[in-house]
Amino acid sequence: MNSSHHDRHTAELHQMQRAIAGLLVYQDILDSAVGIALIDLLQAIANGDRSQGNALICLTTYGRFFKALAVQNCSWEEYLIDRLLQAENPFSLQAQKINPLHNQLSPILVTAARQDLQSLYILYTCGQYISQWVEQIGGKPICWLECSIADRQPSIVNALHHQSWGELVEDIARYYQQSGVGIFGKYRALRWQDRLMGISYPDRVQLDDLVGYEQQKATLIKNTKSLLAGKPALNILLYGGKGTGKSSLIKGLLNYYPDSQLRLIEVSKSAMIDLPVILDQLTDLPQKFIIFIDDLSFEADDQAFKALKVVLEGSVTAKPSNVVVYATSNRRHLVREYFADRPRPQDADEIQMWDTVQEKLSFVDRFGITLTFEPADQPKYLEIVHHLATEAKLSISDEDLEYRALQWATRHNGRSGRTARQFIDYLIGEMDLQA
């Protein structure tokens, strides 16, 4: 390596290290296995010459960097863009809540973000240099994960692949405002398990696949549309027999509004006591949230009953306007009532006891809307079967389909949407085996 080439090599390397050291609001972007491996690799290159010891250190450090990227199944360029768009820092959090087009962002944060983006762009372009340096010091060819730019990507991703990042601060702020940051930017479906956790592969059920309860579906869509529009939306209880599609309707809303700010948070009955904590985390966010509680019922003196009551009725702290509760239940009266709970004429505190009983029985009234799902009769069951068979493009006569569907319902779980889906899935598997 000649002197001028070595000097340029050193200057480029130091520029990358200064870019990392000088980050202001995006410091956490390299706080990961990949980022730490990159920092260690740059230091190994800076310390390296072509001696045997330094060559081994450099190659070993590069191996850790490569493996960390391989675990993520992406190139360095793709990884850095993904981290940038999910970043949760003072700039992205403010941009998420404030419309950047109205110049309401803090000028100091905008300046800091622009400086950081220019530094991160230096790191984005470092791949072409790192591979050369490692080969020179290590004395052997290396494998580099190439960046694959897909034809159909969000416009901001395409811009980041083709433009200097310092020029894109407003576009990135707009992306944060529209798509959210952190866990709400990465996931559309989440669950609460002592903390919010993203669901990588949410149910792909489509509302068009659910037939037989069109009025209930229309009401649910209309209420959710109001939520997304920032208008008053009501909490909804979906009540009815098992297998009627109540839960699927709620989960299908995410796929019905695929490019919206809608988020679904699944909360189990055992975690309902944390509902006030969950609401505190959702207040003032631009996303719209459905808290989904499946198979809702309570025992006497259940603490979850009290927690949900506070959410539905409000407390000193107002319920966020961007949150609704959608719950399903197989019970018309959500709180289990026992004969022993009912007051007897000789009880001196009869009035108070009846107040308690009525509070339990009327809990359903605290939901703004109750949608009832009657068990499927034979015509409705067969309608669902025909619809699913058509969607699956099954080659079977209507007569044979109906005969077998009714046999299936008799031998298994009765007539319901769930039974119809199980029957069609069985037919698909049977026909695939015969093909």
Looking at the structure, tell me whether residues 9 and 58 fall in a common domain: yes
- Which of 109, 214, 223, 89 is closest to 170 using CA atoms? 109
* Residues shown for the chain: 435
152, 31: one domain: yes
Q: What is the pLDDT of residues 190-202, one digit of tens each?
A: 999 989 999 989 9
Q: What is the pTM of this model?
A: 0.77
Residues 16-24 have a mean pLDDT of: 95
What are the C-alpha distances in Å from 346 to residues 339, 342, 350, 353?
Answer: 15, 12, 8, 12
Q: What is the mean pLDDT of the chain?
A: 84
* Whether pLDDT at 334 is above 80: no
pLDDT at 356 (0 to 100): 47
Q: In this model, does residue 361 exceed pLDDT 80?
A: no
Residue 150 belongs to a domain? yes
Which residue's structure tokens are 């598997």? 429
Instruction: Find the CATH number of the domain harbouring 230.
Output: 3.40.50.300
Same domain, 213 and 353: yes
Do 215 and 360 sit in the same domain of this protein?
yes
Q: In this structure, are residues 279 and 311 in contact, taking their beta carbons and an 8 Å threshold? A: yes
CA distance 251 to 68: 34
Q: Are residues 347 and 398 in the same domain?
A: no
Q: Give the per-residue pLDDT at 392.
A: 86
- Kindly state whether residue 10 falls inside one of the protein's structural domains: yes
The share of the chain scoring above pLDDT 90, in percent, equals: 42
Is 193 domain-assigned?
A: no
Looking at the structure, tell me whether residues 229 and 92 fall in a common domain.
no
Looking at 321, 354, 373, the residue that finishes a domain is: 373
Assess whether 224 and 334 both reside in one domain.
yes
Do residues 135 and 205 both lie within one domain? no
Q: What's the rounded Cα separation, in Å, for the pair 101 and 181?
A: 18
Q: How many structural domains compose the chain?
A: 3
Read off the pLDDT band of 169 (50, 70, 90). Answer: very high
The Cα 69–Cα 76 span in angstroms is 7
Distance CA 264, CA 189 (A): 5
pLDDT at residue 173 is higher than 50 = yes
Whether residue 237 contacts residue 246, with contact meaning beta carbons closer than 8 Å, is answered with no
Q: Average pLDDT of 173-198?
A: 91
The per-residue pLDDT for 333 is 54
Residue 229 lies in a domain: yes
pLDDT digits (tens, 9 = 90+) for 213-250: 889 999 999 999 999 999 999 999 998 888 888 999 99
Q: Are residues 353 and 403 in the same domain?
A: no
The rounded Cα 27 to chain-centroid distance in angstroms is 24
What local confidence, expressed as pLDDT, does residue 34 receive? Answer: 95
Separation of alpha carbons 271 and 176, rounded Å:
30
Report the pLDDT value the prediction gives residue 339, as an integer from 0 to 100.
45
- Domain finish residue from 373, 396, 421: 373
Q: Which residues pair with 323 in a beta bridge?
A: 289
Query: Could you count the other beta carbons within 10 Å of the beta carbon of residue 35?
Result: 19
Helices (H), 73-193: 76-86, 90-97, 107-124, 127-138, 155-162, 169-179, 182-186
Do 264 and 300 fall into the same domain?
Answer: yes
Whether 191 is in a domain gets the answer no
Average pLDDT over residues 335-361: 49
420 domain-assigned: yes
Q: Is residue 362 part of a domain?
A: yes
Supply the pLDDT for residue 69. Answer: 94
Residue 224 domain boundaries: 198-373
What strands lie across the sheet with 369-373, from one edge to the other?
196-198, 189-192, 262-266, 288-293, 323-329, 236-240, 369-373
- The answer for residues whose C-beta is within 8 angstroms of residue 230's C-beta and 6 or more apart is 321, 322
Same domain, 212 and 165: no
How far apart CA 148 and CA 146 sit, in angstroms, is 6
CA distance 149 to 129: 20
Q: What is the mean pLDDT of residues 322-336?
A: 77
Domain contains 141: yes
Query: Are 324 and 394 within one domain?
Result: no
- Distance, CA of 170 to CA of 103 (rounded, Å): 10
Which is higher by pLDDT, 138 or 187? 187
Q: From CA 344, how far away is CA 123, in angstroms rounded?
A: 77
Please identify, among 373, 408, 425, the residue that sits at the C-terminal boundary of a domain: 373
Helices and strands, number each (H, E), in the chain: 18, 7
Distance CA 425, CA 435 (A): 15
